[in-house]
Amino acid sequence: MIKFKNVNKIYKIDKEVVFQALKNINFEIKKGEFVSIIGPSGSGKSTLMHLIGLLDTPTKGEILIEGKNIKNLNDNELSSLRNEFVGFVFQQFNLIAKLTVLENILLPTIYSRKKLDFDPRKKALELIKKFGLSGKENSYPNKISGGQQQRVAIMRALIMQPKLILADEPTGNLDSKTGIEIMNLLKKLNKEEKITIIVVTHEADIASYGKRLIKIKDGEIVDN
């Protein structure tokens, strides 16, 4: 599903190397896996997440998504693949304050470049019911709890029916009890709906939810 082959990420200023964030990264993630990527601050895990999520491209090496080498894709093709392949869940929730719960969930469908084969509103309402937020459709983010905001963020990530959910420190802004609820929700999505889950974290207890652990330190994978 996802394959990294000798991937390097180097940041330069005026052609001079300033920092090498990733060094010869090799790994493969198969469809339906729940993988945790763990590392301390500055280890390169955020850079790795950006590459997995197609938000950036490697300096050297190859990234294959379902057999497609991303370096062969133009900007439009890359954008379309990102929109359809991956759903993002962030620590800060990244909800739009001026949009309602329903409108936030529907946001990815508005930017879709393809004709959708489902009714976005109907799908969103089904997700809201499934995630226990019925009655909150017209509420704004500042009127619901942090845990509810993260549920909305997960629903937004799911609305395009992606094959991968990429979660960056998904419990970072939540209390421990709510964090456990969110991680169990991701675990349930992986088990019951076979959605591939990748969680990026620096917390060992959060990483333990993954069925496989990838440890990164100083830009290199030290355990896989």
- Helix, strand, coil percentages for the chain (3-state, nearest 5): 35, 30, 35
pLDDT of residue 193: 92
Q: Say how many Å lie between the first and final Cα of the chain, rounded.
A: 17
> How many alpha carbons lie under 13 Å from residue 122 in its C-beta half-sphere?
4
**Mean pLDDT, to the nearest integer, of 41-68?**
94
Q: How far apart are CA 28 and CA 2, in angstroms?
A: 6
Among residues 192, 124, 111, the alpha carbon closest in space to that of 156 is found at 124
Distances, alpha carbon 44 to alpha carbons 6, 49, 52, 102, 160, in Å: 15, 9, 12, 34, 28
Radius of gyration of the chain from its Cα atoms, rounded to whole angstroms: 18
- Upper half-sphere CA count for residue 65 (Cβ side, 13 Å): 21
Whether pLDDT at 17 is above 80: no
pLDDT (tens digit, 9 = 90+) per residue, 107-144?
A: 999 887 778 889 999 999 999 999 999 999 999 999 99
- Reported as a single tens digit per residue, the pLDDT across 69-111 is 999 999 888 888 888 899 999 989 999 999 999 999 999 998 8
The pLDDT, as a whole number, for residue 80 is: 85
Q: Catalogue all structural domains in the chain, each as residue range(s) with its CATH number.
A: 30-59+74-223 (3.40.50.300)
pLDDT above 70: percentage of residues in the chain: 100
> Could you read off the pLDDT of 173-187 as tens digits, one per residue?
999 999 999 999 999
Residues 6 or more apart from 121 whose CB is under 8 A from it?
102, 106
Residues 203-223, mean pLDDT to the nearest whole number = 95
Alpha helix (H) residue ranges in the chain: 45-52, 75-85, 101-110, 120-130, 146-158, 176-193, 204-207
Arithmetic mean of pLDDT, 19-40: 96
pLDDT of residue 177: 95
Euclidean distance between CA atoms 224 and 211, whole angstroms: 11
CB under 8 Å to 188, separation ≥6 — which residues?
none
**pLDDT number for residue 210:** 96
Look at residue 84 in the predicted model and tell me its pLDDT. 85
* Mean pLDDT of the chain, nearest integer: 94
Residue partners of 52: CB distance under 8 A and separation at least 6:
2, 86, 166, 198
